[in-house]
Amino acid sequence: RYIQGSQVTELLRLLKSESNFDALFTDPALPCGAIVAEHLSIPSVYLLRGIPCGLDIDATQCPSPPSYVPRLLTDYTDHMNFLQRVKNVIFDTSNLFLCDFLFEPYEKLASEFLQQDVTMLDLFHKASVWLLRYDFVLDYPRPLMPNIIVVGGVNCAHKQLPQVGCAVFNSCSDRLPCS
């Protein structure tokens, strides 16, 4: 159910005056939380896997040159030849248009709501902490800024590893607890 304009005004007044929040915890893929955090003037904490167009990399100001770091969905490795590096740069450039297309409605919404010209990059720059669900088994290692905390594997269920059978290893009885 959608709420009406007067209800939004009342809700925001309630959030700003009567509530005492320390921070706003949100996923910036849909930046409504970032807009509310800016409106309430409270710190924001982002939990995300990554924004498809790489806006998170730009917002955190982490070095990630496309001539060396393979982009998502390119299937390149960190050992690219010259032609692959050029294709990677072109692929990265096309992501800029994707960001403009994806986040243009939110930029208009934020500019109207906050009553000032705002871009998504401006809002994302103001994040206090980025909790990135990276796992460097799947993602290429890259430098991270001090306000970025890697919480890889947060979406994985804890599973017990199966016991290695003693028949596989002749001498496991003296080193492995086999039962």
Residue 16 in any domain: the answer is yes
SS3 call for 172: helix
Other Cβ atoms closer than 10 A to 53: 20
Residue 178 in any domain: the answer is no
Asked if residue 173 has pLDDT above 90, the reply is no
Mean pLDDT score, 81-105 = 87
Domain range enclosing 31: 5-150
pLDDT at residue 170, as a whole number: 42
Q: What is the strand order of the sheet 129-132 is part of?
A: 24-26, 44-48, 129-132, 148-150
Q: Write out pLDDT tens, residues 105-160.
A: 999 999 998 999 999 999 999 999 999 888 777 777 778 888 888 887 655 666 66
Closest CA relative to residue 43, chosen from 133, 158, 151, 123: 123
Residue 60 in any domain: the answer is yes
pLDDT at residue 122, as a whole number: 92
Question: Which residues lie closer than 8 Å to 82 by C-beta, 6 or more apart?
Answer: none
Report the phi/psi class of residue 19: left, alpha or beta, with left for phi > 0 and alpha for psi in -120 to 50: beta
Residue 116 in any domain: the answer is yes
Please compute, for residue 71, the number of CA atoms within 13 A of its CA located in the half-sphere on the CB side. 23
User: Can you read off the two tokens belonging to residue 78?
Assistant: 């960190």
Residue 166 in any domain: the answer is no
pTM: 0.74
Residue 33 in any domain: the answer is yes
Residue 137 in any domain: the answer is yes
The domain total for the chain is 1
Residue 165 in any domain: the answer is no
